Structure 1
């Protein structure tokens, strides 16, 4: 039996159960709850596509989906238990109740932390567990990215205010407009390849992970700039 948030390999059903539990337990306006609803839909879609045979390597894709989700759940559990979560998650976890932050900001800050930090580490975890090199996962990595892109588009459509409320001068336009999921995915793949190349050098690997965590956290703090009192 694994600890909460750290699922058995390829156990997508387990991470879905944990996310549904969070969805039931957290207030709807909680910033983590906003992201969790988004990510729950991502993981449900991933499971549907795994069952439909969309992925070239279903075993490795299942490993990636579970390990990817497990890193987010581990951060939430670490915070709940009084342990320090990764720096990339700290802005969302610390500001989750701030009334000056809009739902779309919470959602994008969570996606930023998860894609920018957790995804490259999940790729490395999956390669280690399955004996595959990152290049063997590239096609399925892109297929995971397609799911994320579809969900991010829906997030912006559903959580952004309507055009009568959102004008060019609204600070929200500028805060959420500078972040790109496509660029974040590209950076995540580059980071995964770099980390894989550094996996034999402990100090260099750990320094790269630390710098990655800090850089993604900095972007998260910007995305969560309070826009009202």
Structure 2
């Protein structure tokens, strides 16, 4: 199935819909061992989604319906990859490295978290913006504020991930390659790339073959970065 056709056009979601994806993520997280690489990312993303839900409830977004729609459709991209893998179906290329290496003893928790964020932001976020615009019948520019505020939450959480999962000072020399690898990937650049990709895909919506080719190349490129982020250290 073409990746641009995964989600049908539908009405926008209300703020309460964010709670439903939180419940699904929580259910998966409770079923996986804590050291599972996908569980590491799931904990990070669950925290992001819970924070988005709280900010929507507190009026922290200019358009709560647009924020909820973007957040839910963004989360569905990840949840669909999880469900596909559970059913024996190959997930998108951007997610495959994390699924393949999720139990590798030589991969650190920080790598799992960054690889998941890379897949979700580098690939899924662009497609979720397009899904949102189709659902709401609007242009990307009309959801840019919501995109930026969701991205701000992601960046705050990325800082916490690096603080919590980076080896301590006593391990810094031993883990120097990991320190270099973690520093070579930027969420800010991934966000910028996702926004550019979303705008381009929106312009290509009447050229489905070209849009699909671009989506596949985006997927493959993000997957390659994910594979590098998951380089085992032993």
Quickly name the TM-score band, shorter chain normalised.
over 0.9
- Contact 1:167 1:173 (8 Å CA) reproduced: no
**Could you tell me which residue of structure 2 aligns to residue 171 of structure 1?**
177
Could you list the runs of 5+ residues in structure 2 that have no partner in the other structure? 1-6
CA RMSD of aligned residues (A): 1.4
| 1:68 maps to 2:69 | no
1:164 aligned counterpart, secondary structure: helix
**Separation of aligned partners in 1, 2:172 and 2:45:** 25
1:88 to 71, 88, 94: 94
Q: Deviations over 1:39-90 (max 9, x none)?
A: 0000000000100111111111100000001100100110010111100000
**Separation of aligned partners in 2, 1:161 and 1:27:** 21
**Separation of aligned partners in 2, 1:13 and 1:114:** 19
1:150 aligned counterpart, secondary structure: helix
**Separation of aligned partners in 2, 1:168 and 1:81:** 39
2:138 to 125, 132, 138: 132
Could you list the runs of 5+ residues in structure 1 that have no partner in the other structure? 1-5
Mark the CA change 1:153 to 1:169 in structure 2 (over 3 Å): closer, same or farther. Answer: closer
**Could you tell me which residue of structure 1 aligns to residue 63 of structure 2?**
57
- Contact 2:167 2:175 (8 Å CA) reproduced: no
**Could you tell me which residue of structure 2 aligns to residue 119 of structure 1?**
125
Q: How many residues align?
A: 223
1:180 to 182, 186, 209: 186
**Separation of aligned partners in 1, 2:90 and 2:81:** 8
**Could you tell me which residue of structure 2 aligns to residue 3 of structure 1?**
none
- Contact 1:92 1:110 (8 Å CA) reproduced: yes
- TM-score under structure 1 length normalisation: 0.95
- TM-score under structure 2 length normalisation: 0.93
Q: Deviations over 1:104-128 (max 9, x none)?
A: 0000000000000000000000000
**Could you tell me which residue of structure 2 aligns to residue 145 of structure 1?**
151
What is the correspondence of 1:1-229 to structure 2 with a 5 Å cutoff?
Answer: 10=13, 11-167=17-173, 170-228=176-234
- Post-superposition shift, 1:168? 8.2
